[in-house]
Each structure stands twice: as structure tokens, then as C-alpha cells.
Chains A and B, each alone.
Chain A
Amino acid sequence: MPQGTTEIPLKQQVLHENQRIAERLRNRYRDANLLCVNMISAPGSGKTSLLEKTLEILGDEASPLRVAVLTGDVQTDNDARRLARYGYPVKQITTGGCCHLDGSMIERHLADWDLSILDILFIENVGNLVCPASYDLGEHDKIVLLSVTEGEDKPLKYPSIFHKASLFLMTKVDLLGLVPFDALVAEQNAARIHDGIEVIRCSAVSYHGMEDWIRWLKKRLHAVRANNCRETVTH
């Protein structure tokens, strides 16, 4: 090293500020005893459509779960308007050009919400398969959606999100047979990046797989609450 040169250790996450906010959000979700899922996909893979059908099904149940949606978009509030029809609280986050949601956007939009009345908080991220993967929103689960019109190789091309997601929702499976897409190969590719990732094949048109998806949500909600309960006992 040349004279007068000093190496200063930084040892700091580039996203440490977002990480700090995510920690605060995690605490809020835990205090509210709710499940938060962060839904991530490329533009148009069917996030809003799936959420519409999810709200419709949940609303028809005998004792409906209490849910709410934050939906991110670069420009419009179309998605929020589509989702608001089901009578649940919905808020649009318009990022004004930003390609992902970050912790501070979530915190700002949740500021005046009483989370304690909720069972599940859905976050629909901005349509983008790369950038949202880097931003922790304090969620319990990242969920990646890939539609059958996008190609089986996408888990290999966008490994980060498949690595971090606990569930892979293969969407638009009503189109299988109409498009040359090998669902098994797509699942194998996802497993190469994330051994043991859960997969549900679903469709917002035919309702195929919707029961499995709702069951998955309830299973996760129970698991999160059981875990919160254990933590309360041990603390």
C-alpha cells in the first residue's frame, strides 16, 4: 500500500437503512399478530388478478379473515381501484418511477392503519423480477409469481427472487397446453436455485389451485401466530 494510504473497515450492509426500517415493520407485524406476504413478479404475471380472486374467496367464507392490501405501482392507481371493490382496506403506493417498494414507503403508508384488526397484510410489489428481491419489507414471506407465458428458464435468469421466496406461484395455468411451457422444467429450475421451494400451480381464470393457495395462507398464518405465542411465553 502506498505511503499515506489507510484502509478503513466499514463492515456495513449497503441497505442497512432499509434493514433498520424493516426491523421496525417486523415488530409492528408481530405486535399485530398478523401475517405479511410480499408478492413479487414481472409486470403482468397476474399479481392483482390473483389478489382479486383471493379477496373474493375470502369474503365468501363463513368467518372471513380480515385482510388488507398495499399495492405498488410506478405510475397509476389502477390496481388499488380493482382491489377496492371487494370491501377490504386497500392502499396504492405510487412510487413515481421507482422500480421497487422499500421499507420507508411501506412505513409511510401504514402510518395511520390499525394493524391489530388484521389477519393478513398483502403487499403487491411493483412489477419487476429483480429489484424488489433486495428490499426487505419486514414480511414473513416473499412469494414469487411466474406465469406460464414467461418461459421455464426464468428461475435461472432471476435466481435471487427464487432463492428468497418461500412460495412459487405458477400463474395462468389455464393457458398450459396453449403455450409451449413445460411446467415440470420450470419447477425443476426453481428447485435448482432453491431446494425445497413450495410450488402451487394456479389460475385466476379457472380458479385452479386457488384452494391450495388459500390453504397455504392459513397454514402460514397459524405458524406465524404459534411462533409469536411461543416467543411471548419465553420472553
Chain B
Amino acid sequence: MHELALAESIAQAVRRTMEELPGRTPVQVRLRLGVLAAVDLAALQFGFAVAARESGWDGLVLEAVCVPAELLCVECGARTETRVAHGDCPVCGSSRTMLHGSDELEMESLEVVDGNTEHASRNDGDSPEATGAA
């Protein structure tokens, strides 16, 4: 279960970034996740929610974009995209396939909103800070 350690690294990066952004609240971290990253996304999101809450960011969520891998069929030569690390060829059904994919685990971006309240993400516009600036 190294997902908890990964979640903490992500939370740390968010904290560092937010130090430079007074008056803003983070609402979403976007992650790029390779098929071979060996990460359980649900466990990572759970761990991250805990870390985010501890930092006072109740509405901060973690989203992941799955980077697909290529499945090459040895039997029929078809090249297809896959989001799981193993599987049979969707064209001919053969199990003689080879996988070309990445193990990337990258924080792509952080979405922040104006305002310091923890409700800023959910009640956009309700709080005076969120409607006022920018």
C-alpha cells in the first residue's frame, strides 16, 4: 500500500504550490497515470482525501487521466489501445499479444479558485471572496 506515501507526496507538492498563492484555494489535482504505474487509483484518492482534509482543503479532489498503452497482436498484427495491462486482441481474440505502455505517474496540473474559504469549490459564487476578485 504505497498509495498513502504517494498521496502524501502529492499533498506536499500542493502545499508548496499554495504557499505562493495566498488567497486561493486548491480544488483539483490532475494526475497522468500510465497503465504500468502499479497504482490503485481508488486507494490513492482515499489517501489524498485524508491528506487534503488535514491541510484544511475539504473540497480538494484528485482526478487521473489514464495514459493508454498499445497492445500489439502477434497473430494478426493489429495495434489497439488498452487501459489495462493485459488482455486478448480485440480484433482476433488471440492471447499472443505484447504490451507497450508507460509507467508514468505525473502531477499535471492544479486547479485553484479565488478565495480562502473551504467551501469555495462547492458554493462557487456564494462567498464574497469567490465572486469579487479576478
Interface residues of A (CB under 8 A from B): 2-15, 17, 98-100, 102, 130-131, 133-135, 156-161, 163-164, 191-193, 195
Contact = CB atoms under 8 A, between A and B. Distances in A.
9 contacts: A3-B134, A5-B111, A6-B24, A6-B113, A14-B105, A15-B105, A131-B1, A158-B38, A159-B85
Contact of A160 (B10, B37, B106): B37
Given A2-B124, A6-B111, A8-B110, A99 B2 contact: yes
**Range of interface residues on B (Cβ < 8 Å):** 35 or more
A10 B110 contact: yes
* Consensus secondary structure, chain A interface: mixed
B85 to A, nearest CB: 4
B27 to A, nearest CB: 8
B105 A134 contact: yes
Nearest to B95: A192
B66 interface: no
Nearest to A131: B2
A98 B21 CA distance: 33
A47 B94 CA distance: 34
A14 B10 contact: yes
A17 B115 contact: no
B98 interface: yes
B36 interface: yes
B1 A9 contact: no
Name which of A102, A130, A159 has the most chain B CB atoms within 10 A of its CB: A159
A157 B97 CA distance: 15
B113 A5 contact: yes
B36 A159 contact: yes
A15 to B, nearest CB: 7
B133 interface: yes
